[in-house]
C-alpha cells in the first residue's frame, strides 16, 4: 500500500557519502537482474536524499517529503495525535514522533500498513490493511479513543504503468483516507494524502473544501522530478455537525 523507499535506518553509511564526492555509481547488469532493477538500484545509490536519510537515521527518503510538507504548512505540533496510513517502512512515523514529542511512555502516533515493519519508538504500529472493514476502529482503539489532530496518508496502489488506471486507484485510496479523516479528526485538524499528477478528482476536492478551511496541492522538493506524485494538504477541519450538536470534541 505504501510506495516509500526500502532504505532502512539500520543502513549505516560507510566512509564518505557518495553525495559528498559528486561521483556517480554505475551498476552492472548481472545474471537474474533485470534492466529495470539495475535502473532502480543505480538511482538509489546516486540519490542524495537516500544518502542523507541513511546519515540522519531516517528509514526512507520519504521522510524528507513530510518534513518539507510540515515546514511549509506547519501541521505537526508538540502533543498532537497523528494517524499514519500506509506507514511502512516508518519514515513518516519517525518524523511525526519527533515533531510531536511522542514517546514509548506516552505514544501519540499510530501507524498502519499491511507490510511488516520494525517498531518505531513512540509509535503504535498495526500490521493490517487499512481497507479492512475493522481497520478504522482498530486505529481509534490504538489512540485510546482520542481524536487525532492529523491524518497522514502516503498510500499508493501498486503501479500498472497505465497512467489513468494508476491515477484512479491511488485516488480511491485518497478518498477512503479522506473519509476516515472527516470521521475522526478534531476540529482544526489537518489531512495530508498522496495523489498523482492531475491532482484530486473534482468530487474529492469538493468534499475536502467543504470540510476544511484550506486545501492545497504541493509537490515537495524531495519528490523525484520524474515522479507523478504530489500531495493534497487540507488544514482547518471544520468539525462534524453531529459532534457539535452532542458537545463532543
Q: What is the pLDDT of residues 177-230, one digit of tens each?
A: 999 999 999 999 999 999 887 656 788 999 999 999 999 999 999 987 778 889
Distance in angstroms (rounded) separating the CA atoms of residues 176 and 91: 22
Catalytic, 128? Answer no
Question: What is the rounded average pLDDT of the residues 121-134?
Answer: 97
- 24, 98, 194, 219: the active-site residue: 194
Which residues lie closer than 8 Å to 3 by C-beta, 6 or more apart?
Answer: 154, 156, 158, 159
Nine-digit cell string for 189: 485538524
Nearest Cα neighbor of 154 from 226, 67, 47, 240 is 67
Domains of the chain with CATH codes: 63-246 (3.40.50.150)
Tens digit of each residue's pLDDT (9 = 90 or more) over 141-188: 999 999 999 999 999 887 777 777 877 888 899 999 999 999 999 999
pLDDT at position 45: 55
The pLDDT assigned to 141 comes to 97
Question: How confident is the model at residue 20, as a pLDDT?
Answer: 43
**Does pLDDT of 245 surpass 50?**
no
Report the range of poorest mean pLDDT among 1-10, 69-78, 80-89.
Answer: 1-10
pTM: 0.78
pLDDT of residue 49: 75
Q: Which of 111, 184, 110, 197 is nearest to 147 (CA)?
A: 184
What does the alpha-carbon distance between residue 244 and residue 41 come to, in Å, rounded to a whole number? 52
What share of the chain has pLDDT > 70, as a percent?
76
The confidence band for 39, taking pLDDT boundaries of 50, 70 and 90, is low
* pLDDT band (50, 70, 90) for residue 74: very high
Amino acid at each position: 500500500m505504501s510506495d516509500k523507499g526500502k532504505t532502512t535506518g539500520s543502513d549505516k553509511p560507510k566512509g564518505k557519502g557518495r553525495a559528498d564526492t559528486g561521483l556517480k555509481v554505475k551498476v552492472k547488469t548481472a545474471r537474474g537482474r533485470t534492466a529495470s532493477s539495475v535502473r532502480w538500484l543505480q538511482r538509489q545509490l546516486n540519490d542524495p536524499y537516500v544518502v542523507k536519510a541513511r546519515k540522519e537515521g531516517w528509514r526512507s527518503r520519504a521522510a524528507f517529503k513530510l518534513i518539507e510538507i510540515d515546514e511549509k504548512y506547519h501541521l505537526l505540533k508538540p502533543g498532537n495525535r497523528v494517524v499514519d496510513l500506509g506507514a511502512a517502512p516508518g519514515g513518516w512515523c519517525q518524523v511525526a514522533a519527533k515533531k510531536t514529542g511522542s514517546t514509548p511512555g506516552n505514544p501519540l502516533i499510530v501507524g498502519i500498513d499491511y507490510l511488516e515493519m520494525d517498531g518505531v519508538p513512540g509509535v503504535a504500529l498495526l500490521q493490517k490493511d487499512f481497507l479492512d472493514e475493522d481497520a478504522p476502529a482498530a486505529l481509534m482503539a490504538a489512540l485510546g479513543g482520542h481524536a487525532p489532530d492529523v491524518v497522514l496518508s502516503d498510500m499508493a496502489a501498486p503501479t500498472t504503468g497505465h497512467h489513468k488506471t494508476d491515477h484512479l486507484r491511488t485516488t480511491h485510496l485518497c478518498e477512503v483516507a479522506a473519509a476516515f479523516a472527516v470521521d475522526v479528526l478534531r476540529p482544526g485538524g489537518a489531512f495530508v494524502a498522496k495523489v498523482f499528477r492531475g491532482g484530486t478528482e473534482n468530487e474529492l476536492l469538493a468534499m475536502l473544501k467543504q470540510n476544511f478551511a484550506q486545501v492545497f496541492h504541493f509537490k515537495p522538493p524531495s519528490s523525484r522530478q520524474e515522479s507523478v506524485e504530489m500531495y493534497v494538504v487540507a488544514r482547518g477541519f471544520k468539525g462534524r455537525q453531529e459532534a457539535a450538536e452532542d458537545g463532543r470534541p
